[in-house]
Chain A
Amino acid sequence: MNIRIKILSGFIILALMLLVAGIWSIHELNSIGSSVQNILDDNYQSIHAAKTMSEALEREDSAILLLLHGNWKKGRAILTKADSVFNQKLRFATLNITVPGEQKQLDLIKTQYESYKALWEKPIVGTAKQGNLNWYFADVHPRFLSVKKSVNNLVELNDKMMYKTAMTLKNQSGRAIMPGIVAVIAALVFTFIFTYLINFYIVSPIIRITKRINKFNDKRTPFEVKIDTKDEIFYLAEAIEHLCLSIKNQDSAQ
C-alpha cells in the first residue's frame, strides 16, 4: 500500500471519528431542544392552566362568601369572571392532554365543578341561603375542596411527568456530551498512534536513507537500508541503491 493511501486513511479515520461524534451530538442536542419544547408545551402549560383554575376556584369561594354576606353585585361579578377563567383553562387542559391519566382527571374535575357550580348558580342573596353559614360549610365548602383537590392532583400529575422528562433530559445531555468526550480522547490516542507509525515507517527510514547516502558519499560505504514496507520509501531505497552501485561502478572504471 502506498504512503499516500496510508496517510490519507489516517486522516479519513480521524475525520470520521469526529464527524460521526459531531453529528450524533447535534442530533442529541436537537432532541434535548425538542424535549425542552415538550416540557414547555405539554407539562408547563397544563400546570399553568391547573394553577389558574385553582386560583379561579379560590376567587369563586370568596365570591360565594360575599354573596352570603349580601353583596350581590360584587359577588356575582367575581363569580362570572372566575367561572369564565376556570372554563377557559379547563378547555385548554382538555385540548392539551399529554400525560397518561390526565383525561380521567379532567373528566373528574369537570363533573365535580358542575356539581359545585350548581350550588352557587342559583340566587343566594335574598334567599334563605343568605347568611346561612351552615349551608356553606355543609354543602359548598366540601365541594369546593374536592374540586380543588382534583385540580391539585392534575398539577401533581403534570409535575411528575415534568420531572420524568427532566430526568430524560439529564440522560440525553450526558448522551450529547459523551460522544464528544469519547471522540476527543479517541482522536488524541489515534493521533499518538498515527504519529508513532508515521515516524516508524516514513520518517525513520528517510533518516536512515539520508545517513547511508552521507556514508556512501564520505566513505563509499555500500548503501544497505532495510525497509519493511513495499511502498514509495522501499522503491526510493531500491533506486538509491542502484544509483550508488552505478556510481561505485563508474568510480571503479575511472
Chain B
Amino acid sequence: MRFHIVLRYVALALLINSFFMGIASAISIFNADTAFMPLLYSALITMLFGLFPLIFVPPASNITNKEGLLIVVLSWFLSCLTGTLPYILYGDPFTFTNAWFESVSGFTTTGSTILSNIEALPTSLLFWRASTHWIGGIGIIIFVLSVLPFLGIAEMVLFRSEISSMVRENFHHRARKAIQILAGVYLGLTLLETAALMIFGMDFFDALTHSFSTIATGGFSSKNASITYYNSPAIESIIILFMVLSGIHFALLFSVVTGHIKDFWRSSVVRYYLFAMLAGTVLIASNVHGAIFPDWFASFRYAAFNIISVGTSTGFATSDTAIWPPFSQILLIFFTLQCACAGSTSGGIKADRIVLLGKSFIRHLKRLMHPNAVVPIRIDGNVVEDGLVERSVLYIGIYLSIVFISSLLLILIGMDIKEAFSGTIATMGNVGPGLGVIGSTGNFGQVPEAGKWILSVTMLLGRLEIYAFFIFFIPAQWKKSISY
C-alpha cells in the first residue's frame, strides 16, 4: 500500500472542497455576513492540506484496487471532516457533533438537518451547505476526475472504486467517456433547473442552491419550510421533473440527448421506476384525498411531490407526511428503502436491485416447479450473471440487517421506535426526513448526540454502498485482493 500516493489523490478531493469554500467566502464578502472568517479559514486549511501532498508526491498513473478503494473511502471521510470546519468555526448552533452530522448529511446527499432555523444562517454558509450536496451528489472522486486531465489507469481504478457495483454492470463506456457523460449530464441538469426555477420566480441564489439539492438528490433547502415556502405549483412541477430525471441512470439520459430515445424506453429498470412512482402517487393521492386534502388537485399535487421526493432520495417537503394515514406512510417507507436507479445520484437499495430481486423470486418459483430447468435472468434481453444476482440479493439482505441493527441501537439510547426506524432508513437511503419529530417538517436537532453519530455512520454506509465502508474498517481484508 503506497500511502503517499493515496495522500496525493485524496488531496485532490480536498482541493475541490477548498474551491467551493472559497466561493462561499466570496459570497460572504459580497453579502458582508458573519461567516466570512469561518469560511476563509476553512478554505485555507483545506487548501493547504490539499496542496502539500501535490508539492511533495510525484504523480503516479498506476494505482492498485486497494489503493483506489482507500482513496475513495478516505476522500469521503476527509471531505466530511473538512466540511465540518465552516460550521464549527461559525459556532452556535453547531457543536462538533452537529457540524459532523450536517456535513455528512450534505456530502452523502442525505439532506437531514439539525437546524431548526435554517434562514438564520448567513447566505454564504447556506451556499457551502448546498455545495456539499453538489460535490457529493456525483461522487467526490468522480467530481475530481471530471475536472482533471486524463489520469490513465489510475482514473479507471478510481472510477471503478467510486461508482456503485450496479452501475459498473450498466456502464458500457470506457472510464473517461463514462466520467464525461456523468459530469456533462450532472452539470447540464443543474444549469437547466436553475434557469427553469428562475423563470418561475425564484431568485438566483435560491434557484442555484435548490438545483444543487435536486440534481444531487440531496434535500437541503435554504428555507425553513423547504419547498412549501414558495407555495407554487409551477416550482413544484419543475422540481418534480428534475427529481425524476436525477433518479434515472445518467447514461440513459445521455442516450436521450444524443437521440437514442429507444434505449431509454427499452430499459426495464426505468420503466419499473417510472411505473412505481406513478402507482405510488395514485395510491397515496387516493389515500390522502378527503382525509388530509379536500380536493383531488391538492391530493395529487402533494402526493406526487412527496412520493417522488422520497422515491428519488431527495427529501424536499411540501407537506407534513407525519400526519398522513398509515397506508401512505408505509408506502413512503417502501420508497425510502427502494429509491431510484443505479447510475443516478440517488441512494437507497436502488430500483435495479428490486427488479433483480423480483426476477430472482420468479426464477426460484419456476425452479420449484421444474427443478431441472435452466432459467436465466434477463434484463433488457441480456442474461444477468448469477454472481450479480447473488450480490444484489445479498446486498438487500445486509442493507435490511443494518437498518435493523441501527434502529435497535437508536431505540436503546431512548428514541421512539417509529423515529428510530424511519430515521435509519431515511439516512441509510440518503433520503433525509423520517417520521415524527424527524419528519418532513421537523429536524434531527433533538436526536441524542450518540444517535447523530449512529445516523451519520448509516449515511456513509448507504452512500458507500456498505462493502467499501466495511472493508475500510477491517484490517484483515487489506491482506486479500479485493473484489466486491
Question: Using a CB–CB distance below 8 Å, which chain A residues touch chain B?
Answer: 1, 5-6, 9-10, 13, 16-17, 20-21, 24, 27, 170-171, 174-175, 178-179, 182-183, 186, 189-190, 193-194, 196-197, 200-201, 228-230
Question: Using a CB–CB distance below 8 Å, which chain B residues touch chain A?
Answer: 3-4, 7, 37-38, 41, 44-45, 48-49, 51-53, 55-58, 85, 88-92
Question: Is the pair B48, A16 in contact by a Cβ cutoff of 8 Å?
Answer: yes
Which residues of chain B come closer than 8 Å to A182, judged between CB atoms? 41, 45, 85, 88-89
Q: Given A24-B37, A178-B88, 10 other A-B contacts at CB below 8 A?
A: A5-B55, A9-B52, A17-B48, A174-B92, A175-B90, A179-B37, A186-B49, A190-B52, A194-B52, A197-B7
Question: Is the pair A17, B44 in contact by a Cβ cutoff of 8 Å?
Answer: yes
The binding surface of chain A is classed by DSSP as helix
Give B92 Cβ to nearest chain A Cβ, in Å.
5
Q: A20-B41, A20-B44, A182-B89 are in contact. Are A228 and B52 (CB under 8 A)?
A: no
Question: Is the pair A10, B89 in contact by a Cβ cutoff of 8 Å?
Answer: no
Q: How far is the CA of A197 from the CA of B6 in the complex (A)?
A: 12
Q: A171-B91, A175-B91, A179-B41 are in contact. Are A13 and B48 (CB under 8 A)?
A: yes
Which residues of chain A come closer than 8 Å to B58, judged between CB atoms? 228-230
Question: Is the pair A201, B37 in contact by a Cβ cutoff of 8 Å?
Answer: no
Q: A6-B56, A178-B89, A201-B56 are in contact. Are A24 and B41 (CB under 8 A)?
A: yes
Which residues of chain B come closer than 8 Å to A200, judged between CB atoms? 4
Give A26 Cβ to nearest chain B Cβ, in Å.
12
Which residues of chain A come closer than 8 Å to B41, judged between CB atoms? 20-21, 24, 179, 182
Contact partner of A175 (CB less than 8 A), chosen from B44, B55, B89, is B89
Contact partner of B7 (CB less than 8 A), chosen from A10, A20, A24, A193, is A193
Question: Is the pair A9, B55 in contact by a Cβ cutoff of 8 Å?
Answer: yes
- The 5 closest A-B CB pairs, nearest first, are A197-B56, A13-B48, A174-B91, A171-B91, A171-B92
Which residues of chain A come closer than 8 Å to B48, judged between CB atoms? 13, 16-17, 190
Question: Is the pair A193, B88 in contact by a Cβ cutoff of 8 Å?
Answer: no
12 contacts between A and B (CB under 8 A): A6-B56, A16-B48, A17-B48, A175-B38, A175-B89, A175-B91, A190-B48, A193-B53, A197-B52, A197-B56, A201-B57, A228-B58
Q: How far is the CA of A27 from the CA of B48 in the complex (A)?
A: 22
Interface contact tally, CB-CB below 8 A: 70
The chain A residue sitting closest to B92, CB to CB, is: A171
Question: Is the pair B89, A1 in contact by a Cβ cutoff of 8 Å?
Answer: no
Which residues of chain B come closer than 8 Å to A175, judged between CB atoms? 37-38, 89-91
- Residue with the highest number of chain A CB atoms closer than 10 Å, among B44, B88, B91: B91
Give A60 Cβ to nearest chain B Cβ, in Å.
45
The chain B residue sitting closest to A7, CB to CB, is: B56
The chain A residue sitting closest to B84, CB to CB, is: A182
Which residues of chain A come closer than 8 Å to B3, judged between CB atoms? 196
Which residues of chain B come closer than 8 Å to A5, judged between CB atoms? 55
Which residues of chain A come closer than 8 Å to B44, judged between CB atoms? 16-17, 20
Q: How far is the CA of A186 from the CA of B14 in the complex (A)?
A: 14
Q: How far is the CA of A171 from the CA of B92 in the complex (A)?
A: 6
Give B48 Cβ to nearest chain A Cβ, in Å.
5
Which residues of chain A come closer than 8 Å to B53, judged between CB atoms? 193, 197
The chain A residue sitting closest to B38, CB to CB, is: A175
The chain A residue sitting closest to B2, CB to CB, is: A200
Which residues of chain B come closer than 8 Å to A13, judged between CB atoms? 48, 51-52
Q: How far is the CA of A13 from the CA of B45 in the complex (A)?
A: 9
Give B21 Cβ to nearest chain A Cβ, in Å.
13
Q: How far is the CA of A218 from the CA of B155 in the complex (A)?
A: 45
Give B165 Cβ to nearest chain A Cβ, in Å.
32
Q: How far is the CA of A170 from the CA of B51 in the complex (A)?
A: 35
Q: How far is the CA of A178 from the CA of B88 in the complex (A)?
A: 7
Give A136 Cβ to nearest chain B Cβ, in Å.
52
Give B478 Cβ to nearest chain A Cβ, in Å.
18
Question: Is the pair B92, A197 in contact by a Cβ cutoff of 8 Å?
Answer: no
Q: How far is the CA of A101 from the CA of B126 in the complex (A)?
A: 32
Q: How far is the CA of A13 from the CA of B51 in the complex (A)?
A: 9
Q: How far is the CA of A75 from the CA of B20 in the complex (A)?
A: 74
Which residues of chain B come closer than 8 Å to A196, judged between CB atoms? 3-4
Which residues of chain B come closer than 8 Å to A170, judged between CB atoms? 92
Which residues of chain B come closer than 8 Å to A16, judged between CB atoms? 44, 48
Which residues of chain B come closer than 8 Å to A21, judged between CB atoms? 41
The chain A residue sitting closest to B85, CB to CB, is: A182
Question: Is the pair B52, A179 in contact by a Cβ cutoff of 8 Å?
Answer: no
Which residues of chain B come closer than 8 Å to A194, judged between CB atoms? 52
The chain A residue sitting closest to B48, CB to CB, is: A13
Which residues of chain A come closer than 8 Å to B7, judged between CB atoms? 193, 197
The chain B residue sitting closest to A186, CB to CB, is: B45
Question: Is the pair A190, B55 in contact by a Cβ cutoff of 8 Å?
Answer: no
The chain B residue sitting closest to A170, CB to CB, is: B92
Which residues of chain B come closer than 8 Å to A190, judged between CB atoms? 48-49, 52
Give B60 Cβ to nearest chain A Cβ, in Å.
8
Which residues of chain B come closer than 8 Å to A229, judged between CB atoms? 58
Q: How far is the CA of A175 from the CA of B89 in the complex (A)?
A: 6
Give A200 Cβ to nearest chain B Cβ, in Å.
6
Question: Is the pair A197, B88 in contact by a Cβ cutoff of 8 Å?
Answer: no
Q: How far is the CA of A248 from the CA of B85 in the complex (A)?
A: 58
Give B82 Cβ to nearest chain A Cβ, in Å.
10
Which residues of chain B come closer than 8 Å to A6, judged between CB atoms? 55-56
Which residues of chain A come closer than 8 Å to B92, judged between CB atoms? 170-171, 174
Q: How far is the CA of A22 from the CA of B88 in the complex (A)?
A: 17
The chain A residue sitting closest to B46, CB to CB, is: A186
Give B464 Cβ to nearest chain A Cβ, in Å.
23
Which residues of chain B come closer than 8 Å to A174, judged between CB atoms? 91-92
Contact partner of A179 (CB less than 8 A), chosen from B4, B57, B89, is B89
The chain A residue sitting closest to B57, CB to CB, is: A197
Q: How far is the CA of A178 from the CA of B7 in the complex (A)?
A: 26
Which residues of chain A come closer than 8 Å to B52, judged between CB atoms? 9-10, 13, 190, 193-194, 197
Q: How far is the CA of A21 from the CA of B40 in the complex (A)?
A: 11
Give B94 Cβ to nearest chain A Cβ, in Å.
10
Give B12 Cβ to nearest chain A Cβ, in Å.
15
Give B49 Cβ to nearest chain A Cβ, in Å.
7
The chain B residue sitting closest to A27, CB to CB, is: B37
The chain B residue sitting closest to A1, CB to CB, is: B55
Q: How far is the CA of A171 from the CA of B94 in the complex (A)?
A: 11
